[in-house]
Amino acid sequence: MSKQTFTTGQVLTAAQVNSLQSNDFNQTVSVKTAAYTLVAADKGTRIEFNTSGSVTVTVNTGLFDAGDTLVIQNTGVGVATVTSGTATVNTSGSLVLAQYQGGILYFTSASAAIFFQFATPASGDIEGITTGTDSGLSGGVTSGTAVLRLKLEFDAETGTTYTLVAGNLNQLVTLNNASAITLTVPPNVFSAGDVINIAQIGAGQVTLSQGAGVTINSTGATATAPKLRARYSAASIICTASNTFLTVGDIS
């Protein structure tokens, strides 16, 4: 039901009173199947879009007063977009309404409104995915279908000494030099569950070294200083506790 105007001293009929009450519980619904521009009579009503194609609902100035509201909802498979005409429409949600989405358009003045979008995801739905800096994953989405792939990154080192850094997490660190190489595992960089992969690419054998306060465990001939067995050998360095690491792989 649209907003009604009464005059001082007017006696309301039973039908008018019933009409006022019924709107609180059974809001007047106007179904649209094409793009639509709001009119003053839409105050206090519910505008429903139901179409297979994309449509817009345009909001202009001079039609509504501060405090006026109306509901906009979309039951069709085509998206309905709330569009600023001559009025300004702000929202913290989205002005693009997919099927079964909606919200309340609240006017703060004759030329400005706020669209309060209804919470639409059902229980268990995912509203957005972002990947953490230590996840080993890349990409993210806030809608639609999420496809996450774990892609191994490489860090090619060619010196005779190298100390692991936080950026080596989930990477394959390749070590390539004709001379022997010392790989140091530093303290206070990695946490339990972190994994760094290493591989010897050159002829120079790789030996792991404990940084200050670090403990390395392995089945190597020297448990705290294992070596990669030969060229093209590889291993994983797993942080099992604070500053404690287990080295597994092709070691000697």
Q: Is residue 92 in a domain? A: yes
Structure confidence at residue 140 as a pLDDT band (50, 70, 90):
low
Q: Report the C-alpha dihedral over residues 183, 205, 194, 168, rounded to 10 degrees.
A: 60
Task: Calculate mean pLDDT across residues 154-162.
Answer: 97
Query: Does one domain contain both 175 and 128?
Result: no
Query: Does one domain contain both 61 and 133?
Result: no
Query: Does one domain contain both 42 and 22?
Result: yes
Q: Is residue 7 in a domain? A: no
Cα-flanking dihedrals φ and ψ of residue 96, to 5°? -100, 115
Whole-number pLDDT of residue 103: 93
Q: Give pLDDT tens digits for 206-241.
A: 999 999 999 999 999 999 999 999 999 999 999 999
Q: Which CATH number is 77's domain given?
A: 2.60.120
Query: Does one domain contain both 157 and 142?
Result: no
Strand order in the sheet with 101-109: 29-32, 46-49, 69-74, 101-109, 112-117, 88-90
Q: Is residue 2 in a domain? A: no
Query: Does one domain contain both 168 and 182?
Result: yes
Q: Is residue 91 in a domain? A: yes
Tokens of 163: 């100390």
Whole-angstrom distance, CA of residue 140 vs CA of residue 138: 7
Q: Which of 102, 117, 132 is the last residue of a domain?
A: 117
Query: Does one domain contain both 143 and 205?
Result: no
Query: Does one domain contain both 56 and 137?
Result: no
Domain containing residue 133:
124-148
Whole-number pLDDT of residue 27: 75
- Residue 131: how many other CB atoms lie within 10 Å: 12
Whole-number pLDDT of residue 232: 97
Whole-angstrom distance, CA of residue 206 vs CA of residue 232: 11
From the list 83, 9, 18, the residue with the least C-alpha distance to 49 is 83
Query: Does one domain contain both 161 and 243?
Result: yes
Query: Does one domain contain both 224 and 165?
Result: yes
Mean pLDDT of the chain: 88
pTM greater than 0.75 = no
Q: Which of 97, 117, 137 is the last residue of a domain?
A: 117
Number of domains in the chain: 3
Q: Is residue 89 in a domain? A: yes
Q: Is residue 229 in a domain? A: yes
Q: Is residue 21 in a domain? A: yes
Q: Is residue 88 in a domain? A: yes
Q: For residue 150, count CB atoms less than 10 angstroms from its CB and return exposed for 0-12, middle for 13-18, buried for 19 or more.
A: exposed
Looking at per-residue confidence, does 26 or 107 come out higher?
A: 107
Q: 81, 104 in Cβ contact below 8 A? A: no
Query: Does one domain contain both 129 and 192?
Result: no
Whole-angstrom distance, CA of residue 210 vs CA of residue 192: 17
Query: Does one domain contain both 208 and 229?
Result: yes
Sort residue 120 into left (φ over 0), alpha (ψ -120 to 50) or beta: alpha
Query: Does one domain contain both 139 and 159?
Result: no
